[in-house]
Amino acid sequence: MCSICGSYDISGGAAVRESVLRMSETMCHRGPDAKGIYEDGNVCLAHNRLAVIDIENGSQPMSVSFRGREYTIVYNGEIYNAPELRRAFKELGAIFRTECDTEVVLWAYILHKELCSRLLNGIYAFAVYDKAENKVYLSRDRLGVKPLFYARTGDKVYFASESKAFIKGGVIKPKVDKRGIWQLLFLSPSTIPGSDIFRDIKEIAPGENAVIDRCGMRIWKYWQLEAKENRDNAKDAAEKTIELLWDAVKRQLVSDVPLCTFLSGGLDSSVITSIGARILGERGEKLSSYSFEYENNKENFKNTLFQPASDDEYAKDLAKELGTEHTVLTASNKAVADCLYGAVIARDYPGQADIDSSLLYYCSLVRKRHTVALSGECSDEIFGGYPWFYRREMLERDFFPWIHDPYARSRLFREEAVCSREGYDYMSALYKKTVESAPCLDTDSEETKVARRATVLSTAFFMQHLLCRKDRMSMASSLEVRVPFADHRIIEYVYNVPWEIKFEGGVEKALLRKGAGLKNLLPDNILYRKKSPYPKTHSPEYEKEVKKLLSSCLDKDNLFCELIDKSKVYSLIENGGENVTWFGQLMSRPQLMAWLYQFSSWCDIFDVEFV
C-alpha cells in the first residue's frame, strides 16, 4: 500500500509545505519505493508509495487534465474492479497512461465527481484535489480496511493515513482527554467510530466521504448496510456466497510483486488459501502460504472454550494437501515481548499486547520474501462466528459482549483521575445506541433481528480493531495485506440471509461451510472445525518477560505513573491473581501486564498530556 497526507487552508492562505513533508516522513514505512509532493496555493499533498501494480509507472501525486481542468490524487489502496472501470471510463473519454488503479480512481472522480466512491470495489483511502473548484475530496472504503484521519488547526485542515503524522509532524499537540482515556480503559483496542484517542484528531469513518473547500469541511456517508428481503433457500444462498468469495479472491490475486496467504488452519484462512491455490494452479503457478507458531507453545498449550485446539498441524496438513509452498514462522517469547514497544509505534496507541506484537514480528519475516498477502479477517463479523450472534443474553447486557470484565483495566488506575463509573456509563450508552441502529425488516424473525444487531455492532467495533491491527502491523514492514471477506458485495448479501440459514443445525458460520462444501474446498476436519482465534503464546516465559518490562515502568515521570494506582499494579506483578479472560478470546493476565507496559510506552513515545 502507501501513505497519503496533505493540508488545505480554508482562508486561502499558503499551504505549509514543511509541515506536510514532516507528516509524510513519519509514514515512510508504508511506502518505501517512492515519495512525492504536490503544492498549489492553499493545497499541499504528499505520498509514499509501495509499488504493487505497474511498478515502473504510477508515481504520486498523479495529475490529469481533462476538458481544460486539472485534477491531482494521492491514493492508498487497491481497486479490484479496475479493469471493468477502465473500459467504461475509456468510452466516456478517459485517456490512460499507466496500468495503475490510481489512475482509475482519479478518472472515477473526474467523470463522476462526488459519486465516484460508489463505483469502487476495493480497499482505499484517497484525496483528489479539484483545482478548478479549489476543493479536496476525501474518501475511505466501505468497511474501513484502509485508515484515514484528519485534524484542524485554525484555518488549516490536515489529513493523513496515520494519526502519528499529525503529532510527530508537529501540527497537533498530543493531548488526551477523559473520552480518550475511557476509550483506552473500556474499549481498546477498538476506538469510537469517527474518533481517535488523541483529542484533536478525528477519523473519516468507514464508508464516508468528505469535501474540504473555502466553506469548511463537510462529511457524509455514502455506504451503509441495508435490510432487504432475501428469498433464497439454503443451497442457493450458499452457492451465491461462495461465488462472491471466489470472485473476491480471484480479483485480489492480481499483483506484479510476490504474493502469499496467511494460513492458520482455521476455516476462514483455509477457504481463502484453498481458492487461491486453485486459481493460481489453473495458471500454472504455485501459491505460497505462512502459518505462525510460538516457541514452547506445544508444551504449554491448554485447550479452552475459546481456543479448543492448536492451529499448527491443521495448517501444515492443509498446505500439503493443497500443494502450497508453506512456511512456518516461529516467534520466541522474548521476540514477542521485545516487539510490544514497536507495536505501539505502529498502532499509535496501546492496542492488543502480544497479539499485536507477534503479528508485527511475523509480518517483518513475511516481507523478506513477499510484498502482498491475503488474510481471513472479517469472516466472523459477517457470517456470525461469535457467540453474541446466537446467545441473545450477551447482546441484552448493557456493555460490549467481548469485554468480559469492563473494569479490568480501570481498577488499576486512580479513580479520581479516570472517573471510571462515568466512563462506563458513556461507553454503555454508545453500545446501546449502536445495537439499536441496526437496519431490520418487519418480517424478520427475532433470531434474524438479533443477528443483524450483532453484525452492525461487530463491524462497527470488533472488525475495526482487527483491520487496524492488520493494517498497522503489516504496513510497519511495508507488507500489503488484502482481506477478501471485506468485499462489500459479500456483506451486503450475507446481511440479508435469514439467520436460520446462517446458523443451520446450530453450527457457527453454517452458510460459509455449506458453500465451501459445495466446492469441495476443504477436508471435513477443517470444514467443520470449531472456531479458533489468532494464536497467542501460552509459555510462562512470556509472562516473566512482561513482568520485567512493566516493573521497569513504575518509577518513570510520565502520564502512566500519574494515572495508575501503583500499589495495585505492584500487586498484579508480584501476586498475579486469577487468570481471567477480560477482552475477546485471548486477553488474560499476561496480556494485561503487557498492555500496561504498552500504555507507559505510549506516554513516552508521544509525550502524552492529559487535559
Which residues carry out catalysis? 2
CB 128 within 8 A of CB 112: no
The residue written with cell numbers 502512566 in the block is: 560
CB 604 within 8 A of CB 556: yes
Length of the chain: 611
The candidate with the shortest Cα–Cα distance to 30, out of 539, 368, 477, is 477
Residue 387 half-sphere exposure toward CB, CA atoms < 13 A = 15
> What are the phi and psi torsion angles at 227 (to 5°)?
-85, 125
Burial class from Cβ neighbours inside 10 Å (0-12, 13-18, 19+) for residue 3 reads: buried
- DSSP, collapsed to helix, strand or coil, labels residue 140 as strand
CB 255 within 8 A of CB 99: no
The residue written with cell numbers 456470525 in the block is: 384
Q: Which residues contact 298 (CB under 8 A, 6 or more apart)?
A: 310, 312
| Integer angstrom CA distances of residue 428 from 183, 462, 471, 580, 584 | 12, 15, 28, 22, 17
Residue 256 half-sphere exposure toward CB, CA atoms < 13 A = 14
Q: How many Å apart are CA 47 and CA 40, to the nearest integer? A: 15
Q: Spell out the alpha helix ranges (H) of 295-445.
A: 297-300, 312-322, 333-347, 353-366, 379-383, 392-396, 415-418, 420-436
Q: How many Å apart are CA 215 and CA 140, to the nearest integer? A: 22
Output DSSP code: residue 12: S
Q: How many Å apart are CA 266 and CA 507, to the nearest integer? A: 15
